């Protein structure tokens, strides 16, 4: 499995029972307390993007307060809903240490609740057809035969 340069950031979370990671957008999404907290990003092999740093998942309402406390964070130039810090920033390590401590304390300004997965078109089509058959026959058992 691929590792990311900045996985050291996750050390403070690894023992927490709600901690897990998941691949997302070519990066590594980090979850804690049931919320997506950040995504470690690095340049993709395809060249789709050249970001190297950390996307901080947060709501727009928290941007100003977080930027005031962590001035190295800024709205990402593409994913404007989240804050970003480039790993080349001179204060990257110090900032991320402070950010991870705040996240580990369950600071409510950090994190977004993942959206439930949408059903694929095939699943929706099958569900619609099964409802049609059920409504015509009036009995779900007719679907079995």
- Say which residues have a Cβ less than 8 Å from residue 144's Cβ, sequence separation at least 6: none
**Pick from 7, 80, 74: nearest CA to 40:** 7
The per-residue pLDDT for 106 is 96
The model's confidence at residue 139, banded by pLDDT at 50, 70 and 90, is very low
With vertex at residue 70, the alpha carbon angle to CA 86 and CA 62, rounded to the nearest 5 degrees, is: 105
Alpha-carbon span 110 to 114, nearest angstrom: 13
Distance of CA 112 to the CA centre of its chain: 7
Task: Measure the CA–CA gap between 96 and 38, rounded to whole angstroms.
Answer: 11
pLDDT digits (tens, 9 = 90+) for 113-137: 987 766 665 545 444 444 444 444 4
Q: Give the domain ranges of the chain.
A: 7-114, 119-145
Does domain 7-114 fall under CATH 3.90.1150? My reply is: yes
Parallel/antiparallel/unpaired status of strands 74-75 and 83-86: antiparallel
């Amino acid at each position: 499995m691929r590792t990311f340069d900045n996985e050291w950031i996750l050390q403070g979370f690894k023992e927490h029972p709600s901690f897990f990671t998941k691949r997302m957008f070519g990066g590594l999404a980090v979850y804690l307390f049931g919320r997506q907290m950040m995504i470690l990003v690095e340049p993709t092999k395809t060249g789709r993007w050249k970001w190297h740093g950390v996307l901080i998942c947060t709501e727009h309402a928290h941007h100003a307060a977080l930027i005031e406390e962590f001035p190295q964070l800024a709205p990402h130039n593409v994913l404007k809903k989240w804050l970003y810090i480039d790993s080349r920033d001179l204060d990257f390590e110090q900032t991320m240490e402070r950010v991870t401590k705040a996240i580990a304390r369950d600071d409510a300004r950090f994190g977004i609740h993942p959206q439930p997965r949408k059903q694929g078109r095939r699943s929706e089509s099958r569900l619609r057809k099964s409802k049609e058959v059920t409504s015509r026959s009036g009995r779900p058992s007719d679907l079995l035969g």
